[in-house]
């Protein structure tokens, strides 16, 4: 009886081994089904830089909701905050479109620089609505945006 039981177990495992050899699950199958794109996107979305931009976006959304208690949609503060939110969303879209090989470069420092770059761009947009290009505050804001842009580009190369 014992020998018969062991024979059945041996046959069972042999059948499993044959089935596993007929249907291998290799990485090439995963690539063909397109499942790697979800994994690659998750690598970018789990980066510190992505998280930093998401945190800044959430903070801007909270600020907008608070502003809407006191101001109407057409108020300059509300319009500026909406433009800032759109800038964050645009930057998030750019990060999601990047290749997965860039994921290790998406550090917390880069995320903070990207947030500062977005905020500098929003500040420049607000200043150019009120002042001419020659105005000192506009020039300073343009320099600030240029430096943040150059530094983020360096880190991403």
At 13-37, the pLDDT tens digits run 555 554 555 555 544 444 444 444 5
Cβ–Cβ under 8 Å, residues 145 and 124: yes
pLDDT score at 21: 54
> Got the DSSP string for 42-108?
HHHHTSHHHHHHHHHHHHHHHHHHHHHHHS-TTSHHHHHHHHHHHHHHHHHHHHHHS-GGGGGG--H
The pLDDT assigned to 32 comes to: 41
Nearest to 124 by CA among 140, 112, 111: 140
Q: For residue 11, is pLDDT > 90? A: no
Give the whole-angstrom CA distance, residue 18 versus residue 12: 10
Q: How far is CA 34 from CA 12, 125, 135, in A?
A: 33, 41, 52
pTM of the complete model? 0.72
Tokens coding 60: 């801007």
């Amino acid at each position: 009886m014992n020998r018969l039981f062991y024979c059945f177990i041996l046959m069972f495992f042999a059948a499993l081994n044959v089935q596993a050899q007929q249907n291998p699950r290799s990485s090439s199958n995963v690539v063909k089904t397109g499942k790697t794109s979800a994994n690659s996107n998750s690598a970018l979305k789990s980066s510190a830089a992505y998280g930093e931009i998401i945190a800044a976006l959430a903070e801007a959304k909270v600020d907008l909701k608070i502003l809407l208690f006191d101001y109407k949609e057409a108020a300059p503060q509300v319009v500026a905050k909406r433009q800032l939110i759109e800038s964050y969303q645009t930057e998030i879209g750019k990060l999601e479109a990047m290749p997965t090989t860039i994921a290790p470069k998406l550090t917390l420092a880069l995320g903070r620089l990207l947030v500062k770059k977005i905020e500098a761009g929003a500040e420049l947009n607000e200043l150019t609505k009120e002042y001419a290009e020659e105005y000192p505050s506009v020039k300073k804001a343009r320099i600030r945006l240029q430096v943040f842009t150059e530094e983020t580009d360096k880190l991403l190369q």
